A = this chain, B = another copy of it.
Amino acid sequence: MTRLRKTVPIVPDNEIFSFCVEGAMLGKNPKVVSCGFISIEKPTFHRQYSKKQMASIQDISVSAAINLLSAFLFLVAFAMLRLQPFNDRVYFPKWYLKGIRSSPTHSGAFVNKFVNLDFRTYIRIFNWMPEALKMPELELIDHAGLDSAVYIRIYLLGLKIFIPITILSFVVLVPVNCTDGKLEKSKDLMFSDIDKLSISNVTPGSQRFWAHLVMFYVFTFWICYALYKEYQIIASLRLRFLASEHRRPDQFTVLVRNVPPDPDESVSEHVEHFFCVNHPDHYLTHQVVYNANKLAKLVAEMKSLQNHFNYYQNKYDRNPAKRPTTRTGLWGLWGDKVDAIEFYATKIEELVKEEAIEREKVISNPQAIMPAAFVSLRTRWGAAVCAQTQQSCDPTIWLTEWAPEPRDVYWTNLAIPYVELSIRRLIMAVSLFFLTFFFMIPIAFVQSLANIEGIEKVLPFLKTLIEKKVVKSVIQGFLPGIALKIFLILLPTILMTMSKIEGFTSLSSLEWRSAGKYHLFILVNVFFGSIITGAAFEQLNAFINESATEIPKTVGVSIPMKATFFITYIMVDGWAGIAGEILRLVPLIMFHLKNAFLVKTEQDREEAMDAGSIGFASSEPRIQLYFLLGFVYAAVTPFLLPFIVIFFGLSYMVFRHQIINVYDQKYESAAAFWPDVHRRLIIGMIISQLLVMGLLSTKGAKYATQLLIILPVLTIWFHLFCKGRFESAFKKFPLQEAMVKDTLERATEPNFNLRNYLEDAYVHPVFKGGDFERPAAIDEEENNPLVPTKRALSRRSTPGESRYDSEPGSEAGS
């Protein structure tokens, strides 16, 4: 709390709205979320900037010092906590999941199990930093997968782009800006030291703007060059990664959707006949998709009951004198008091029966088979062909695409017919528009209801409590924002749900799609929302009523004034947020709670670990914002750049540590998200070009518009060029590659039984879990050590087994 209260004063009131939006967006760091919130002012529309926005370098330094300090404190806390053995599973879960590290409880003195008493280790508490940077990239790819390795390359790209730009703009632009002294001449205006270094200090109409123009060109070319090189590197990394991979079921498998109904044949027969006819030399086998959604729900319910049972069992074991009791009603709060252990034991028994019936129903009932199937082919070549070609005259049936990895499949969406899919996408597109631009309307409405009088009316018994002065002021300060806060915390979930409704079939595509939506939201509500203060729909209205040339001017002219705000923002969200990320406060607490109440066996403890993952859907769009800020301010207020460089440097280190020690990705897409990242960077570049164009043209540099209009055209062309050059490496699988791998494999393992290998790869996870009864047909699977996906699929349910297949090679592959 202290930290933010100190930084807030330099943020003017009417910016608090967007500041809150952002504060809440930290997502992973709830501490910052809760304190980032003070109040919501009725947003007033732009161009009322006054002197108080112009913070001096002292103010910024103080704020920087505080934020650096808090970031440093987080880091120290992390460095201490990670050394304690009882936190080992919070800070090194990846090694446990890989089976390389086992619980420290097995050895040493009792105290040593929980607290690290070896003081020599405390001397080198920041050792994790060089440690994190030490692992070479290829080993990192082996260890953590290409997705993670490429993800942290985004931060590295940020460093590559912004370090030269920072140096260049400090060498060239800062002297140009600060020697003009327009602000000193106009005595009536207060100005800050930062503004002296920025473009605001240059007299309108001055020839000095040529420097900014030329530098902006240089920056753009440098960014394009860096992006091109990066795309090239990542494409080659991806190709090398795919080439080095071991056998994986998805290399041989295509997902077939919209299998047309046939009056005479079952789905399974129909699929088999179709592919036998149309891919006679390559068809091998297929796996139909069961509608096991209800069964999956039962399985989840079972898990929750088991947890309750364990909790009470543990309680009883520790204190055998007293049988624990519970109530039968909701959340154990209402209803009759019963013996808890017996109650849950009966419930579990009931559910086991219900589950068995449902399982039987799914397997035997032809209605439960969805018109989709995973078709496996004899060769990678055959699968590449099948995935890339159109099968039927009617392009809405027999749709083939690469099968996602088995653990990446989003099972619920496999059977949506074409027309419905198309309508769903329309509805979601319209919803996204309204969500982005009009989300403030329902929230303002809820806010107007949620006042003290309203609470007193609904819950009169709280009246006496509320009327107390301290409580009242807290509620009054807190209430107005609560609806917005809840909305913002829920936002990633809402966006993910929207993506799910759109009908994507893999977790990876759901994440990428949500990232796209979140990017739009941040762009509109955080970036433009902070520059032109006001609710998004007001901006929209203003933009519609302004001309195409006016919009960049309107936005551009307020950019220099917002520099201090964004610097503060980078420190709060970026620096402290990232330091909070490494502390993992929530998983830390959750793990210890679970450990205390639920854990009985070693396996339970493994389950209690929450390794988490990168969270591409919410973290990537936030990086994009920093890139955008860097692009925009590079030529305007160079003083902002070092803050961004520090952000990228710190993030790179922290995330490198996290992907080495913590995160456990749910899937491996071999960096297939890069074209999205690249496209959004290009969008950022174009926005920055238009805004700088607008800004310069209001500064009396008339030639600016004509000279800068070339840049967006070139940037769009550059994007198309890169797209043509590299994108297909991320979307298609070249036949040459496939053929090489097929030939190699035929030569090295001529007798390999592919059919056995593939038969059960694409079985719904509820039929696979280790501790559940399985249909007889797929019973052999568990005994077959060749299924590399087992570890991933059964990670949460049977992590104990994961040690069996932990050779580094197969790790990277699976």
Which of A262-270, A525-533, A723-731 contacts the other chain? A723-731
Chain A, residues 395-431, CB within 8 Å of chain B (1/0): the string is 1101000000000000000000011001000100110
In angstroms, Cα B735 to Cα A278, docked, is: 7
Q: Counting chain B CB atoms within 10 Å of each CB, which of A395, A426, A545, A732 scores highest?
A: A395
Question: What B residues does A278 contact at CB under 8 A?
Answer: 381, 735-736, 739
- Tell me if B393 and A737 are in contact (CB < 8 A): yes
Q: Counting chain B CB atoms within 10 Å of each CB, which of A396, A398, A426, A430 scores highest?
A: A426
In angstroms, Cα B424 to Cα A717, docked, is: 11
Given known pairs A277-B739, A395-B726, the reply for A389 and B389 (CB within 8 Å) is yes
In angstroms, Cα B736 to Cα A735, docked, is: 20
In angstroms, Cα B740 to Cα A277, docked, is: 9
In angstroms, Cα B740 to Cα A274, docked, is: 12
Chain A, residues 207-248, CB within 8 Å of chain B (1/0): the string is 000000000000000000000000000000001000000000
- Tell me if B385 and A734 are in contact (CB < 8 A): no
Given known pairs A544-B547, A735-B390, the reply for A725 and B239 (CB within 8 Å) is no
In angstroms, Cα B392 to Cα A729, docked, is: 9
A388 contacts B by Cβ under 8 Å? yes
Chain A, residues 8-39, CB within 8 Å of chain B (1/0): the string is 00000000000000000000000000000000
Tell me, rounded to whole Å, the shortest Cβ–Cβ distance linking A750 to chain B: 17
Tell me, rounded to whole Å, the shortest Cβ–Cβ distance linking A707 to chain B: 15
Chain A, residues 699-713, CB within 8 Å of chain B (1/0): the string is 000000000000001
Question: What B residues does A392 contact at CB under 8 A?
Answer: 734, 736
Which of B381, B388, B422, B724 is A720 in contact with, Cβ under 8 Å? Answer: B422
A798 contacts B by Cβ under 8 Å? no
Closest-by-CB residue of B relative to A400 is B735
A549 contacts B by Cβ under 8 Å? yes
Question: What B residues does A732 contact at CB under 8 A?
Answer: 389-390, 395
Question: What B residues does A381 contact at CB under 8 A?
Answer: 278
- Tell me if B390 and A733 are in contact (CB < 8 A): yes
Question: What B residues does A549 contact at CB under 8 A?
Answer: 544-545
In angstroms, Cα B550 to Cα A543, docked, is: 12
Which of A189-220 touch B at CB < 8 Å? none
Given known pairs A713-B430, A734-B390, A739-B278, the reply for A395 and B550 (CB within 8 Å) is no
A391 contacts B by Cβ under 8 Å? yes
Tell me, rounded to whole Å, the shortest Cβ–Cβ distance linking A433 to chain B: 9
A772 contacts B by Cβ under 8 Å? no
In angstroms, Cα B553 to Cα A547, docked, is: 13
Which of A415-469 touch B at CB < 8 Å? 418-419, 422, 426, 429-430
Tell me, rounded to whole Å, the shortest Cβ–Cβ distance linking A428 to chain B: 11
A128 contacts B by Cβ under 8 Å? no
Task: Count A interface residues, CB 8 Å.
Answer: 49
Closest-by-CB residue of B relative to A713 is B430
- Tell me if B547 and A724 are in contact (CB < 8 A): no
Given known pairs A547-B547, A726-B395, A736-B278, the reply for A721 and B422 (CB within 8 Å) is yes
Closest-by-CB residue of B relative to A384 is B389
In angstroms, Cα B732 to Cα A392, docked, is: 10
- Tell me if A735 and B391 are in contact (CB < 8 A): yes
Question: What B residues does A419 contact at CB under 8 A?
Answer: 721
Which of A547-587 touch B at CB < 8 Å? 547-550
A360 contacts B by Cβ under 8 Å? no
- Tell me if B728 and A390 are in contact (CB < 8 A): yes
In angstroms, Cα B419 to Cα A713, docked, is: 17
In angstroms, Cα B424 to Cα A720, docked, is: 13
Closest-by-CB residue of B relative to A721 is B422
In angstroms, Cα B721 to Cα A429, docked, is: 14
Closest-by-CB residue of B relative to A390 is B732
In angstroms, Cα B720 to Cα A548, docked, is: 27
A317 contacts B by Cβ under 8 Å? no
Which of B388, B725, B737 is A418 in contact with, Cβ under 8 Å? Answer: B725
A281 contacts B by Cβ under 8 Å? yes
In angstroms, Cα B381 to Cα A277, docked, is: 12
Closest-by-CB residue of B relative to A398 is B736
A546 contacts B by Cβ under 8 Å? yes
Tell me, rounded to whole Å, the shortest Cβ–Cβ distance linking A515 to chain B: 22
In angstroms, Cα B422 to Cα A293, docked, is: 48
- Tell me if A395 and B729 are in contact (CB < 8 A): yes
- Tell me if A724 and B544 are in contact (CB < 8 A): no
Given known pairs A547-B546, A717-B426, the reply for A389 and B385 (CB within 8 Å) is yes
Given known pairs A724-B396, A724-B418, A725-B395, the reply for A389 and B390 (CB within 8 Å) is no
- Tell me if A395 and B728 are in contact (CB < 8 A): yes
Closest-by-CB residue of B relative to A433 is B713
Question: What B residues does A385 contact at CB under 8 A?
Answer: 385, 389
Question: What B residues does A717 contact at CB under 8 A?
Answer: 422, 426, 429
Question: What B residues does A430 contact at CB under 8 A?
Answer: 713
- Tell me if B547 and A736 are in contact (CB < 8 A): no
Question: What B residues does A724 contact at CB under 8 A?
Answer: 395-396, 418, 422
In angstroms, Cα B729 to Cα A222, docked, is: 43
Question: What B residues does A418 contact at CB under 8 A?
Answer: 724-725
- Tell me if B544 and A389 are in contact (CB < 8 A): no
In angstroms, Cα B381 to Cα A281, docked, is: 12
Which of A40-88 touch B at CB < 8 Å? none
Question: What B residues does A395 contact at CB under 8 A?
Answer: 724-729, 732
Tell me, rounded to whole Å, the shortest Cβ–Cβ distance linking A271 to chain B: 13
Tell me, rounded to whole Å, the shortest Cβ–Cβ distance linking A139 to chain B: 24
In angstroms, Cα B543 to Cα A546, docked, is: 11
In angstroms, Cα B549 to Cα A388, docked, is: 43
- Tell me if B388 and A389 are in contact (CB < 8 A): yes
Question: What B residues does A398 contact at CB under 8 A?
Answer: 736
Question: What B residues does A396 contact at CB under 8 A?
Answer: 724-725
In angstroms, Cα B733 to Cα A264, docked, is: 27
In angstroms, Cα B535 to Cα A748, docked, is: 71
Tell me, rounded to whole Å, the shortest Cβ–Cβ distance linking A540 to chain B: 10
Closest-by-CB residue of B relative to A274 is B736
Q: Counting chain B CB atoms within 10 Å of each CB, which of A389, A430, A550, A737 scores highest?
A: A389
Which of B720, B725, B736 is A391 in contact with, Cβ under 8 Å? Answer: B736
In angstroms, Cα B400 to Cα A735, docked, is: 12
In angstroms, Cα B736 to Cα A550, docked, is: 55
Which of A352-388 touch B at CB < 8 Å? 381, 384-385, 388
Given known pairs A278-B739, A720-B422, A724-B422, the reply for A391 and B734 (CB within 8 Å) is yes
Question: What are 28 contact pairs spanning A and B, CB under 8 A?
Answer: A239-B393, A277-B739, A278-B735, A278-B736, A279-B735, A385-B385, A388-B390, A390-B732, A391-B734, A391-B735, A392-B736, A393-B734, A393-B736, A393-B737, A395-B732, A396-B724, A398-B736, A419-B721, A422-B720, A426-B717, A430-B713, A543-B548, A545-B547, A545-B548, A545-B549, A546-B547, A546-B548, A547-B550
Q: A274-B736, A395-B727, A422-B717 are in contact. List 8 more A-B contacts (CB 8 A).
A: A277-B736, A278-B736, A279-B735, A384-B389, A385-B385, A393-B737, A430-B713, A545-B549
Binding site for B on A (CB under 8 A): 239, 274, 277-279, 281, 381, 384-385, 388-393, 395-396, 398, 418-419, 422, 426, 429-430, 543-550, 713, 717, 720-721, 724-729, 732-737, 739
Nearest 9 CB-CB pairs, A to B? A395-B728, A390-B732, A388-B389, A426-B717, A545-B547, A390-B734, A385-B385, A547-B547, A422-B721
